[in-house]
Amino acid sequence: MSGGFVHHIDPVLATVGGVHLWWYGAGFAAGFVTLHRFAMRERMRLGLTRNDVWALSLLMTVGTLAGGRLVQVVFDEWPFYSSHPAFLPVFWLGGMATHGLLAGSAVAAAVFAWRWQVPFLALADALVIPGAVLLGTGRVGNFIDGQIVGRVTDVWWAVQFPYAEGFRHPVVLYDGVKNLVLAGYLWHVRRTAATPGAVAARFVFWYAAPRILIDLFRDYPAHRLELGTGQTLNIVMAVLGAVLLVRSRLRRLGRLHPQFAPRRVPVPAVDLAPSPGRRVVFGMVVAACLTMPSNWTQDVPRRYGDRHPGLAHSWLYPPLEWSPPQ
């Protein structure tokens, strides 16, 4: 084809003390800061003090990253990690699964709701909005890193990625735009809907259902039922979202008892300031996000070492010679 965009963007944002900082990780860092600022803005509506919000932001950040890492290890790269267990915690060599991020954030929100006695649905309705923004900025980072390519195509906006033959659909940009539009839609729903869980239910469904269509353009390795792992999880998530939408509708019509949850005591007259420890730890975790590349662990030194020699000649970035079992 003639035309199209040839991808020559350097995925490394900067190098500090031999440690590479990636655009993909920067997208996550920006997303977590957005989540914190949004929660701080909404704290009175949720019955939280500033100190509570810092705890929420820290728990959500750690839980989201842990979930993304766990699903990546277990579902996407288990043959590699089972042979190289020492690399399980090496997040700066890549390895983060989107559906794991969602699962980890849900668990973190549930833990916070239980520990701080906040209604879970009210908390979820608030957090899915900055969550959609984070997923959008993360997809932009995927594109800059040159990862997750679509099928070969001759459309004029096709992209020639560094490590794939031919011009391809920029599927991560499709998904990123979808996520950012979803954030705006959820903000509108939150302003107009009074039913607890209405915003969260729409997030689950409208994140997954359009992604099923988007991922049809993705160059997936097929696993079960001739579907990629991500596509399988998209379908499961869309079905779950449809169920949640029906429950939300029935709750709004009064045909389903509302979910009972411990009531949060009113915010004290003194809005407790955040403890220095929570601020410091949250800042450290967000800063650590900058070191995350958008790729499978075993591919990072091999693919990017030609442009950044430190990736192949540093104890932080050991060269990996490995191929999956046939």
Mean pLDDT by 10 residues, the chain (326 residues): 79 84 91 95 90 95 94 83 81 82 95 94 95 93 86 94 90 95 95 88 95 88 53 89 88 60 53 80 94 71 65 61 51
Q: Is 14 helix (H, G, I), strand (E, B) or coil?
A: strand
> Residue 303 is encoded by which pair of tokens?
């693919």
**What local confidence, expressed as pLDDT, does residue 206 receive?**
96
The separation between CA 260 and the C-alpha centre of its own chain, rounded to angstroms, equals 29
Q: Residue with structure tokens 């820290």?
A: 58
**What local confidence, expressed as pLDDT, does residue 105 receive?**
96
Distance CA(167)–CA(152), nearest Å, equals: 6
**What local confidence, expressed as pLDDT, does residue 4 receive?**
82
Rg value, the chain, Cα: 21
**What local confidence, expressed as pLDDT, does residue 274 receive?**
75
Model confidence pTM above 0.75: yes
Q: Which amino acid is at 59?
A: L
In a 13 Å sphere around the CA of 103, the CA atoms on its Cβ side amount to: 17
**What local confidence, expressed as pLDDT, does residue 260 receive?**
45
Q: Which amino acid is at 320?
A: L
Q: Residue with structure tokens 């690399």?
A: 87
Q: Cα 138–143–144 angle (5° rounding)? A: 95
Distance CA(43)–CA(298), nearest Å, equals: 41
Which contacts of 245-252 are long-range, i.e. CB under 8 A and separated by 24 or more positions?
A: 245/201, 245/202, 245/205, 247/197, 247/201, 248/195, 248/197, 248/198, 248/201, 251/195, 251/196, 251/197, 252/195, 252/198
**What local confidence, expressed as pLDDT, does residue 326 receive?**
42
